[in-house]
A and B are shown apart, each in its own frame.
Chain A
Amino acid sequence: MNTANMKSRTWKKPPFIESPMLRWGLVVGGAFYLALAFGTMDVNWGRVADGIPRGQRFVSAFFPPDFVSRAGDIFDGILESLWITIISTVAGIAISIPVGLGAARNLSPRPVYLASRAILAISRTFPEIIIALFAVKLFGFGPFAGFIALSVGTVGFYGKLLAEDIEDMDPSQAEAVRATGAGWFQWLNYAVQPQVMPRMIGLGMYRLDINFRESAVVGIVGGGGIGATLLTSFDRYEFDSAAAILLVIIGIVMAVEYSSSYIRKWVQ
């Protein structure tokens, strides 16, 4: 019956944003923003052009990289990065456990909750490198400053996730254990820990990975580790040593990632 009048029916894909005003507003606004952003970018094209041969030299420095001529510096720097990574991860996680417990709404009284959340917010906002900058001012040059910076970063990251995980846990299991008359620590041990443990071990490994990558940059502001060595090689345009360092970093990150996926499987 309606085949006749349907012959002329056309179809267009319904637009993602229905209101045409808003749609075109977004398009025009986006284009305007891009134009403005590129317009104010203030690029020194002459300098960029100079960079092309330098870039080629940098890329060719990877074939082959020079592990040898600064081998001692690279080795020491990498080891120092590893030490910093390990102790800051351990210390950061140790501190973030009480803070994370305090920041879980279903666990803590209001004042403790607010205080813990404030600690987490502060330690999360600033990038590790800024914390390192101040740590170097306070504790002097060297790995201790890097250790402090990465620990603070770890507390912010791990504490927040721990708190969220506890808030998401199954309340009926927690209730059941509480109903047995368990004390607070017993309750933590039997009701909370089994529920959050596997995921938190995984996240701990993930943080170890992040901390290693960060430990490679705190050296730029004097916080110890491989970063200082890398900065020196760039400053002296020793691209083949820089290439070697970068490859070592990539290799270690891959190793950590691989072993952490292995450990995660083992734990779960």
Chain B
Amino acid sequence: MLRLVDLVKQYKTGDTALKGVNLEVPDGQVMALIGPSGAGKSTLIRCVNRLVEPTSGKISLNDMELTSLSQGQLRRARRRMGMIFQEYALVERLTVMENVLSGRLGYVPFWRSYFRKFPQSDIDEAFRLLARVGLDHMVDKRADELSGGQRQRVGICRALIQQPELLLVDEPTASLDPKTSRQIMRLIKELCEERKLSAIINIHDVLLAQMFAERIVGLQLGEIVYDGPPDGLTPDVLTQIYGEEDWEATIEKVDEDEEEDLDAAPKRAAGSE
């Protein structure tokens, strides 16, 4: 369980991005964090793994207090939290496999990572994950040769190979087309279910949030203004989060259209090898 208590973040520029946020995410829950640009969504999840240092407040993950950790302890704590980024943030000049294995950096000593001599168990797990997302035929491709959707799948593998307890996902679909967006969101959700992971997913797209998350938290100007189930997002609530607009069209329930099933991908890939 992840618990944020009175979390405040004030940047050096004076912007108060988070104004005392209290939040609990139980184990295995997939939570979507929605809100307009600048609401503080990225700041919130970056405070959790301390890529951004919180100004005050407490964060604990399964009874480990994260805000008071030393540098070495922080490294070990970061292994327990996988992060997925908006622009994928793959190291572009490394191969797919190297990018995935970089998720193990917190576990292996420097010499091993330097000579790319990762333990065989890590390599097995990398192949397993890549097969799961349908990319095991591209292990030696360089990351900058991949399409957006493929890159994000590599990013997901990198986060999962850490064996995390929690996924921090920052707008995973913002750079993707609508169809790929859904595939990626479904993949994240399925993987969370398979591995009993909890996740915080920052997302712009209210529809996607409703489709794939079991709980929605609305953030506005650094404060939580909604916390509840997906179908509680009424036009009034959305107005409160995003401001005045015609929201009827947005919440209208869409049928899940038939999409390419991701589970078919590894079979196809294996067949073509």
Contact = CB atoms under 8 A, between A and B. Distances in A.
A11 B126 contact: yes
Contact of B128 (A6, A10, A13, A14): A6
Contacts of A10: 120, 123
Contact of A6 (B97, B131, B140): B131
Interface in B71-118: 95, 97-98, 116
- Decide if the interface of chain A is mainly helix, strand, loop or mixed: loop
A6 B124 contact: yes
Nearest to B97: A11
B127 to A, nearest CB: 5
Nearest to B140: A14
A2 B270 contact: yes
A200 to B, nearest CB: 34
Contacts of B98: 13
B131 A14 contact: no
Contacts of A6: 124, 127-128, 131
Contacts of A3: 128, 131
A9 B98 CA distance: 15
Nearest to B142: A14
B139 interface: yes
Contacts of B28: none
A7 interface: yes
A2 B270 CA distance: 8
Given A2-B131, A3-B128, A14-B140, A9 B266 contact: no
A7 B124 contact: yes
A12 interface: yes
Contact of B95 (A7, A9, A13): A13
Nearest to B126: A11
B116 A9 contact: no
Nearest to B94: A13
Contact of B139 (A1, A7, A11): A11
Interface string A1-27: 111001101111110000000000000
Contacts of A11: 97, 123, 126-127, 139
B95 A14 contact: yes
Nearest to A5: B270
Contacts of A12: 116
Interface in A62-119: none
Contacts of B131: 2-3, 6
A14 to B, nearest CB: 5
A247 to B, nearest CB: 38
A2 B266 contact: yes
A3 B270 CA distance: 12
B145 to A, nearest CB: 13
B132 to A, nearest CB: 10
Nearest to A3: B128
Nearest to A6: B127
Nearest to A7: B124
A9 B116 CA distance: 15
A11 B138 CA distance: 12
Nearest to A14: B140
A10 B127 CA distance: 9
Contacts of B123: 9-11
A7 B140 CA distance: 18
Nearest to B101: A11
Given A2-B266, A2-B270, A13 B116 contact: yes
Interface string B258-270: 0000000011001
A10 B97 CA distance: 11
A2 B131 CA distance: 9
A10 to B, nearest CB: 7
Contacts of B128: 3, 6
Nearest to B130: A6
A160 to B, nearest CB: 32
Nearest to A9: B127
Contacts of A1: 267, 270
Nearest to B116: A13
B230 to A, nearest CB: 34
29 contacts: A1-B267, A1-B270, A2-B131, A2-B266, A2-B270, A3-B128, A3-B131, A6-B124, A6-B127, A6-B128, A6-B131, A7-B124, A9-B123, A9-B124, A9-B127, A10-B120, A10-B123, A11-B97, A11-B123, A11-B126, A11-B127, A11-B139, A12-B116, A13-B95, A13-B97, A13-B98, A13-B116, A14-B95, A14-B140
Interface of A: 1-3, 6-7, 9-14
Given A7-B124, A10-B123, A13-B97, 18 more contacts: A2-B131, A3-B131, A6-B124, A6-B128, A6-B131, A9-B123, A9-B124, A9-B127, A11-B97, A11-B123, A11-B126, A11-B127, A11-B139, A13-B95, A13-B98, A13-B116, A14-B95, A14-B140
Can you list the 3 inter-chain pairs with the closest CB atoms, starting with the nearest?
A13-B116, A14-B140, A11-B123
